Chains A and B, each alone.
Chain A
Amino acid sequence: MYKFLNRSAAQAIMNYKLKGATSQEKQGTLVTALGRLIPLLRGEEKNLLITFIAILFSAGATLAAPVIIARAVDVYIQAKNYHGILILSGILLGIYIVGSITSYIQTITMGRVGQRVLFNLRNNIFMKLQELPIAFFNQNRAGDLISRINNDTNMLNQFFAQSLAQFIGSSVTIFGIGIFILILNIRLGAATLVPAFIVLGVTQVLSSWVQRKNLTSLRSLGGMSAEIQESIENFKVMVAFNRLDYFREKFNQANVINYRASVGAGVANNLFAPLYDLSYDLGQLIVLTYGIYLITTGNFTVGLLIGFLLYANNFYNPLRQFASVWSSLQLALAGLNRISEVLALHSDMPVVAAEPNASPFMLEFKDVSFRYPEGKEVLRHVNLRFDKGKTYALVGPTGGGKTTIASLMARLYDPTEGMVLLDGRDIRSYQPQERTQKVGFILQEPFLFTGSIKDNILYGNPQYRDYSTEELHTLLEKENLSDLLEGFEQGLDTPISSSGDTISLGQKQLIAFMRAVLRNLELLILDEATANIDTVTEQLLDKILNKLPASTTKIVIAHRLNTINEADEIYFVNSGEVTAAGSMQNAVDMLLHGKRES
């Protein structure tokens, strides 16, 4: 049975690396690209319908106004019938009012659709980030991910909020007026539309090129964002090592790359406005010359020609707006491309079915091997057994694989070969909630969220989440943890900033320790969890650990020997292999004289 499972797991960790600033691929044409936006609008059918009706009305108003004006000119002004002009003016006023109201409805409905699409997309990406395993975060840069969530989604918002309604409205108007002028005079109408068709054809051809330019530009923005984020988060190193000039230089490189990519995208996006303007002018010329020709042949009137010029105006003005909408669409699609890259990823750590009671131990490693992507093997065929309620120590030189073993115990990764069994079952068969309730892992590098000490102690603890400060105090007292709060002047309410340095590393470790102890775990892993805490406080922590229920299994990784001398068993981890040390003396000998690899 293992063999079967082994084979399915016998591969390196999935590659989660997102595309960087340099990779290129083909983009679809305008029509196929529009199709990709449709799924984002699911659930907005009603609003789209409202928008569409509003657009029909406002487009109708736009269409009707010149007809009325042309009629006023042809019938009443030429006939000098002022009363008729006033009646038509009244009708025109009514049409304008309808146009304004529908335009309001259209803008607000579509704008809200845009905001909601943005809201959902942003949330979906963040949710996806939460679903992805830790390997994803090791392979991608924080700044680039931030850029995807904020900048790229915003490109889509701009399109949906400002451009989509305009896009639909313009399309309807263009289509309506196009048909209308064809009906009005098929020959003159057809001639008027020729430049429009030419320019739309050119658009279609250039579409994928422009989108590629935009994608490159967004990628370079992501790359720059990563550069900034990394540097500013680690500013103190820059200062202490006098490397702010290096930081500036690195940033300027990213800045120049971004500048070039943006200019490239800008040149592509801006090509179209003048092109569409040109088609407008040519359309007018055709109407004028051909119209006059038609009048000379007696098939047309001056009034109709003026009306036709207005229609040509009304046909080409939305087409000119199209040009700007169109580049915003290209940007949106490039943004969507980068967002989809994240959304398309899926966790390669599913919950699998497994038979119960496959192992009598609290934790067992069966022939476990592990390698990081593109890395060498970190663990080689490791077999380990941990009894319930005992304390184990893992020692060995740095880089020997201790943290990797601990990470597998908490299923931060899956082994590339072999199996980890938790409380008798394949660890992969546990639901995350069930697993995290059993296993606690105090990380080597503690991380605190912005908030208070209390927030951080209760973080991820469903049992005590709603405790008040007093209740938490009582609880800490009961668990013998309250002494650890002494160093914090404002106690549980001491504020914490994740990017700040007011809390020392040792204090962060104390908070992480308290957080873990309060969780009533079955298996507690401490990965050098007290490395930066003074030895006197550490003795206190030892006492607290000893008071944990007898059923709690403890696994301690440490360099300091006093932290491990109470272990029931000591394992020596080196070069991806694990050997039982037998006794403390043996462990020390191995540490001091054994073959080392790191």
Chain B
Amino acid sequence: MKEKSTEHKVIKATGTNLLNLLRPYILLVGLLILLTIASNALSLVVPKIISNAIDTYTQGNFVLQSVILEFFLVVFFVFILTYVQNIMQTYTAERVARNLRTGLIAKISVQDYSYIQYATPAKLLTNLTSDVDAVKTFVSQAITSIISSVFLLVGASVLLLLINWKLALTVLSIVPVVGLLFYLVFSRIRKLFKKSQEVIDWLNKVITESILGSALIRLLYAEHYEYQKFRAASTEAKSIGFSILRYFATLFPVIIFTANMAILIILVLGGHFVVIGSMSLGNFTAFYSYLAILIFPIFIIGFMSNAIAQADASYQRIGEVLNAEEKKETGGVVSQLRGDIAVKNVSIALDKRIILTDVSFSIQAGTKTAIIGPTAAGKTHLLYLLIGLLKPDSGVIEYDGKNIDAYDKKSLHQQIGFVFQDSIIFNLTVRENIAFSNTMHDEDLHKAIATAELTDFIEALPQKLDTVVSERGTSLSGGQKQRIMLARALALNPKILLLDDFTARVDTNTEEKILSNIQKNYPHLTLVSVTQKIAPIEKYDQIVLLMEGEVLAVGTHQKLLETSPEYVQIFESQRSTSNYELQT
């Protein structure tokens, strides 16, 4: 699908079985089973009491008080046991769901960026919500229902066999018939459930895009078109729903009919036994009572088969995430970076599109480097490689002479600040958006804020640093967002700062101030800045000119003016206004 999809191959077969899911909860489930069996065993006694009462009554030695006492005791315990059992199953199901989510998130959070793009956010969201819920329903309803159903089936069968084995065997012949029916429908319906979850991914994607692109949609009056897109996905969901429904609508009546056949058998055959005198009327009645117990679980299994099929399909999807291959953890070198960077013969292609070809240059600690070049030259991807968001197909990236892979990722990221080109603001307080943790030193935070020229802006906010900014940061202007992103990078107190077209949305005056603030407050910083404007970088130690994924020239402003015609062309394109810019 996406680039490097082979790396995300799913390890098959291990643990995508629903029963494996329950292994860690063996104690809880065991307790649950025990409770279920106990309450069901007790409830089996009820018809026995009734049948005894009728028989003793017809024989004339009926004692009302003992019947009522027995009955009350049994019923009271059944009530207590079922209630405790119900609470337990809720608790177990919610625990399973919570831990499954925690597990998913733990897994997702150790994956790299390319995995998220491969799996798509829309699908991961379905995995964490709808899929987990399907599994939860299975645990909360299906497990105990099926256990108690099976238990009731077995219990009632044994009792029936004890009363009259010939009649019982005939009646029980319906059980394998029902089993076969389930099997046939089940194998077909599984695929449909998987498909229906995939349609939810699709719906999620359309909704997400319609929300993220809401301004564009309104500007282009494309609301109706978006609705058509949604309707297509929604219609598909409906038609899959119809297909699933057809199976179940057929399955239920057939099962009910089969179960009813058992009643008929009792009447015809049991009636015959009573007529010829080989069975008492009390036993005949008891047979009916037990049959009611026998049929009820068959219905329940019928209802639950839906939940099981759904959970099974969902758990497979969850398993794909949980069993996805993890990227090999990079090395464990934890060291203070000096700031030397070397890019050696780096090439990368994404989606079979060549992004960078044989890119090499080096940067000395404490210097300033600008990367300049036309749109789609590969500048942003180069920065992604430097921060480790992407891995090169060939070539190496070195920090202080050591391969980037040798470093502990955590310590590396703590020393490299990155300002993304697109504004990414979280639905958090300004403080959290900048510090991104609750443990940052106020000193570092305020230095970063001051450097990004945000002090006045934050002072003007109603709750200062603790003001929550909205999800897509829409209450902030483009430049404010950009500066928050800068503060976020600077708050790390980085050794190296990577700027991706940071100045594009900041006015010249602020830009100047910020750049001199950085110089003053972070004097030993190694700066790598992707930019479009030449004027601010004329005094940089080196400029890398990147075009169509290749390095055309490396050198100082003066040198490039003399040697690179492409650089001169870019310089010329900015000359008309440079007399204004120079005034700064």
Contacts and interface: CB of A to CB of B under 8 A. Distances in A.
Contacts of A565: 576-577
Contact of B129 (A100, A221, A246, A507): A221
B217 A398 contact: no
A21 B400 CA distance: 49
Contact of B475 (A295, A372, A460): A372
A259 B97 contact: yes
A255 interface: yes
- What secondary structure prevails in chain A residues at the interface with B? helix
B165 interface: no
A459 B53 CA distance: 79
A92 interface: yes
Contacts of A292: 53, 57, 62, 64
B151 to A, nearest CB: 16
A510 to B, nearest CB: 7
Contacts of A129: 207, 210-211
B263 interface: yes
A266 interface: yes
Contacts of A157: 241
Interface in B50-108: 50, 53-54, 57-58, 62, 64, 67-68, 71-72, 74-75, 78-79, 82-83, 86-87, 89-91, 93-95, 97-98, 101-102, 105-106, 108
A204 interface: no
A235 B116 contact: yes
Nearest to B485: A237
- Chain B CB count within 10 A is highest, among A444, A565, A598, for A598
Interface stretch (B226-234, B338-346, B515-523, B552-560): B226-234
Contacts of B289: 309
Nearest to A510: B375
Interface stretch (B13-21, B174-182, B357-365, B409-417): B409-417
Interface stretch (B25-33, B312-320, B443-451, B466-474): B466-474
B477 A398 contact: yes
Contact of A89 (B213, B267, B375): B267
A228 interface: yes
Contacts of A533: 375, 532
B125 A537 contact: no
B577 A398 contact: no
A577 interface: no
A309 B54 CA distance: 11
A559 B252 contact: no
Given A112-B245, A285-B71, A306-B285, A460 B421 contact: no
Interface in A244-264: 244-248, 251-252, 255-256, 258-259, 262-263
B279 to A, nearest CB: 10
A313 interface: yes
B249 A104 contact: yes
Contacts of B89: 270
A228 B125 contact: yes
Interface string B476-519: 11111011000011001000000001011111111000000000
B50 A107 contact: no
Interface in B352-392: 353-354, 372-377, 379-380, 384, 387-389
A559 B424 contact: no
Interface stretch (B4-12, B186-194, B197-205, B329-337): B197-205
Contact of B121 (A233, A282, A502, A591): A233
A145 B437 contact: no
Interface in A86-141: 86, 88-89, 92-93, 96-97, 99-101, 103-104, 107-108, 111-112, 115-116, 118-119, 122-123, 126-127, 129-131, 133-134, 137-141
Nearest to A495: B351
Interface string A133-166: 1100111111101110111001001000110000
Contact of A398 (B68, B133, B505): B505
A302 B533 contact: no
A359 interface: no
B275 A80 contact: yes
Nearest to A435: B221
B372 to A, nearest CB: 8
Given A108-B249, A137-B211, A507-B376, A89 B94 contact: no
A288 B67 contact: yes
B215 A134 contact: yes
A157 B71 CA distance: 40
A412 B221 CA distance: 11
B234 A123 contact: yes
- Chain B CB count within 10 A is highest, among A78, A398, A509, A533, for A398
Contacts of B372: 534
Interface string A213-239: 000000001001110111011111111
Given A72-B267, A229-B121, A115 B245 contact: yes
Contact of B248 (A111, A226, A450): A111
B454 to A, nearest CB: 9
B268 A444 contact: no
Contacts of A284: 46, 50
A136 B366 CA distance: 47
A88 B267 contact: yes
A410 interface: yes
Nearest to A563: B577
A167 to B, nearest CB: 14
A230 B471 contact: yes
Contacts of B275: 77, 80-82, 85
Given A161-B245, A285-B68, A126 B101 contact: no
A591 B94 contact: no
A473 interface: no
Nearest to B84: A274
B208 A460 contact: no
Interface residues of B, number: 183
Contact of A397 (B62, B128, B219, B509): B509
B264 interface: yes
Interface string B106-124: 1011101100110011101
B581 interface: yes
Contact of A103 (B121, B256, B281, B573): B256
A123 B236 CA distance: 12
A326 B235 CA distance: 29
A115 B510 CA distance: 57
A151 B570 contact: no
B79 A133 contact: no
A387 interface: no
B476 to A, nearest CB: 8
A150 B257 contact: no
A119 B241 CA distance: 10
Contacts of A93: 264
B574 A535 contact: yes
A292 B58 CA distance: 10
A149 B203 contact: yes
Contacts of A269: 90
B50 A118 contact: no
A399 B479 CA distance: 7
B418 A241 contact: yes
Nearest to B121: A232
B210 A150 contact: no
B238 A241 contact: no
A415 B215 CA distance: 17
A506 B263 contact: no
B508 A285 contact: no
Contact of A266 (B93, B376, B472, B480): B93
A229 B208 contact: yes
Given A73-B281, A447-B213, A115 B457 contact: no
B215 to A, nearest CB: 5
Which 6 pairs from chain A and chain B are nearest by CB?
A: A398-B479, A460-B220, A266-B90, A506-B375, A242-B413, A487-B376
Given A499-B122, A532-B375, A562-B573, 19 more contacts: A81-B275, A96-B264, A115-B241, A119-B234, A137-B214, A138-B472, A142-B212, A224-B128, A232-B116, A236-B384, A241-B436, A241-B488, A243-B436, A259-B97, A288-B67, A317-B296, A412-B218, A443-B215, A559-B507
